[in-house]
Amino acid sequence: MFIVCKIVDMKYKQPSGSQKRKKRKLDEEKRKADAGALDKFIHRQPIEEHVEEHIEEHIEEHVEEHIEEHVEEQEHIEVEEAEEQEPVKEFVDIYDPRRWEKLNSEEIKLLVQKGPKRDNSIMYGPYDKFGRRFSAALYTRTLPNLEKCDREWLVYSKELDKVFCFCCKVFRKGISKGKLDGDGYADWHHVTTRVKEHEISLDHLTNRNKWFDMRKRLNLNEIIDKVQYEQFKKERDYWKQVLLRIIAVVKFLAKHNLAFRGSNEKLYKKGNYKL
């Protein structure tokens, strides 16, 4: 019986605290050693870094594609807007006789005010098939008293090799009654006679008067505008001087810590600003 109790006591005897700590330390060292042994046989790739790099590349590609699509859409919109805008107005040479019948009112006013242009360096034009050509002598008219005057209404087109009547082509009403007020005259054999007939015709005299009247009105308006501008300039300079004086008074009063009213508060009485 004693032997059995001894065996039971030996079987259920608890280890001491020191033994438990020692055993726990040995188990921990063994676990760490076993864990390190597995790493020798397994090659692990940096999954997290690879995943992050892949995600970053995917994001960059997506952003670049989105930006490119946005830029393309924006360029497409700009192109459409540019197409929807009004086309750029073509430069119009108002001194070209070929365009005189298509000028608007503002262009006609400018042309009338400036007057037709001549290329005075052209004394003669090219020969036609009959051996005749334009001569700058057509610009001069000889009166019965042998006085000479300029036919300022007569213009020669180098491009067309034709002469035109400026006032009749610009102010003509209805269809053309002759080539001088239409497509141009180029019969150099009869041009002198035709020009003389044209300049005394009723239509030409009427159109020339329209030209002179409009030019006079435009020049008069220009003079009136100039006078009005001079008046405006004088008034502007006057108020500019007034403003400078006001600023000087304000700076003076502020510097000396003075009030505008002075020592008297009654209306219309002299204040410091009237010094």
| 96 three-state secondary structure | coil
- Residue 180 covered by a domain: yes
- Residue 115 covered by a domain: yes
Distance CA 260, CA 267 (A): 12
- Residue 104 covered by a domain: yes
What is the Rg, in whole angstroms, of the alpha carbon atoms belonging to the chain?
Answer: 52
- Residue 275 covered by a domain: no
DSSP-assigned beta bridge partners for residue 148: 142
For 22-37, what is the mean pLDDT? 74
- Residue 45 covered by a domain: no
Q: Is residue 2 very low, low, confident or very high in pLDDT (cuts 50, 70, 90)?
A: very low
Phi, psi (degrees; rounded to nearest 5) at 89: -65, 130
In the predicted structure, residue 46 carries a pLDDT above the cut 80: no
Report pLDDT for 78.
56
- Residue 138 covered by a domain: yes
Structure tokens at 272: 């410091």
Q: What is the pLDDT of residues 80-122, one digit of tens each?
A: 555 555 544 555 678 888 888 788 888 888 888 888 888 889 9
In the predicted structure, residue 197 carries a pLDDT above the cut 50: yes
**Domains: count for the chain:** 1
pTM over 0.85: no
- Residue 91 covered by a domain: no
- Residue 226 covered by a domain: no
Distance CA 41, CA 87 (A): 77
Domain extent for 114? 97-212
Q: Are strands 140-142 and 148-150 parallel, antiparallel or unpaired?
A: antiparallel
